[in-house]
Amino acid sequence: MKIIGLSGSLSAPSRTRGLVEAVIGEITRQTGFGGGVIDIAELAPDLGRSLGSFVLPPAIEAAHAQLRGADLIVIGVPVYKASYPGAFKHFVDLIDPKALEGKAAILVATGGSEQHALILEHQLRALASYLGLYSAPKTVFARDTDFADYRLANPAIAERVAFVAGQAAWLLRAPAARTLAAAA
Ligand SMILES: Cc1cc2nc3c(=O)[nH]c(=O)nc-3n(C[C@H](O)[C@H](O)[C@H](O)COP(=O)(O)O)c2cc1C
């Protein structure tokens, strides 16, 4: 089973990437399966000059291929102006809409305050559903104050990460059901 993270932040270093890595680390601890992270901050220069999906820069093609090859995608976004960042959405807009159907997903987000935590439900889950992803019922939202040196440092959020990783483990055990549903 392959896991890949997708960090939608334009910052480096990034709390969002730190949270995505914490989730992948916990999934690895629980299941033995691991994987790397696609970082939108690294792809941003290429994204700016990609206006259509016919010919994409190699780095973006490679990132799309990594997503296509994954069984589970941990998607993390920072809240920018009450939504996910435009560069993250542009990256997703360049993906073949059917390419990720039937894969499992974990959704996480970071923000300056909890005021916009529901973007996980009304924006990121809607996007995941459009892509045909089976997103775990529980999500993780972390505030800036939950991090130290861009690493998750709040034990309560770490507990939530462990719970959500358990849901990821469950989703990874049901690939046949997902494939069947995606084909329907
Ligand atoms: C352009 C911009 C807009 C932001 N807008 C919001 C917002 O609307 N709501 C919020 O809670 N935090 C907002 N923030 C704060 C970030 O979501 C928060 O600092 C997040 O942890 C950043 O993650 P990062 O370290 O991965 O960049 C904004 C930050 C930036 C740079």
Q: Looking at residue 175, what is its pLDDT?
A: 64
In sequence order, which residues have a C-beta less than 8 Å from that of residue 26 and are 6 or more positions away? 161, 162, 164, 165
| Confidence category of residue 177, pLDDT binned at 50, 70, 90 | low
How far apart, in whole angstroms, are the C-alpha atoms of residue 156 and residue 181?
A: 35
C-alpha radius of gyration, the chain, whole number: 15
> Where are the domains positioned within the chain?
3-183
- What spacing in Å lies between the alpha carbon of 112 and ligand 1's midpoint? 6
For residue 176, with 0-12 CB atoms within 10 Å meaning exposed, 13-18 middle and 19 or more buried, which class applies?
Answer: exposed
List residues near ligand 1 (CB under 6 A).
9, 11, 14-16, 78-82, 110-113, 115-116, 144
Residue found by looking up tokens 């690493």 in the block: 151
pTM: 0.96
- Residue 122's pLDDT is 97
Q: Which residues face 141 on adjacent strands?
A: 109
CATH fold of 3-183 reads: Rossmann fold (3.40.50)
> What are the tens digits of pLDDT across the range 31-83?
999 999 999 999 999 998 888 767 899 999 999 999 999 999 999 999 999 99
Point out the ligand 1 atom lying closest to the alpha carbon of residue 110.
21
- How far, in Å, CA of 1 to CA of 51, rounded? 33
From 80, 108, 120, 152, give the residue whose CB has the most ligand 1 atoms within 8 Å, as the site to mutate. Answer: 80
Span 133-176, pLDDT tens digits: 999 999 999 999 999 999 999 999 999 999 999 999 999 987 66
On the question of pLDDT at 179 being above 80, the answer is no
Query: Alpha helices of the chain — where are they, by DSSP H?
Result: 15-31, 40-48, 58-68, 86-93, 119, 125-130, 155-172, 175-183
How many residues appear in the chain? 184
Our mutation pick for probing the ligand 1 site, out of 79, 115, 124, counting the most ligand atoms within 8 A of Cβ, is 79
Contact yes or no for 90/119 (Cβ under 8 A)? no
Quick one: pLDDT at residue 55? 85
Q: Which has more pLDDT, 70 or 183? A: 70
Ligand 1, atom 31: closest residue by C-alpha? 80
Q: Which of 35-39, 94-98, 175-179 has the lowest mean pLDDT?
A: 175-179
DSSP secondary-structure letter at 123? I
Ligand 1 center to residue 110 CA distance, Å? 7
Instruction: Kindly indicate the confidence band of residue 182, based on its pLDDT and cuts at 50, 70 and 90.
Output: low
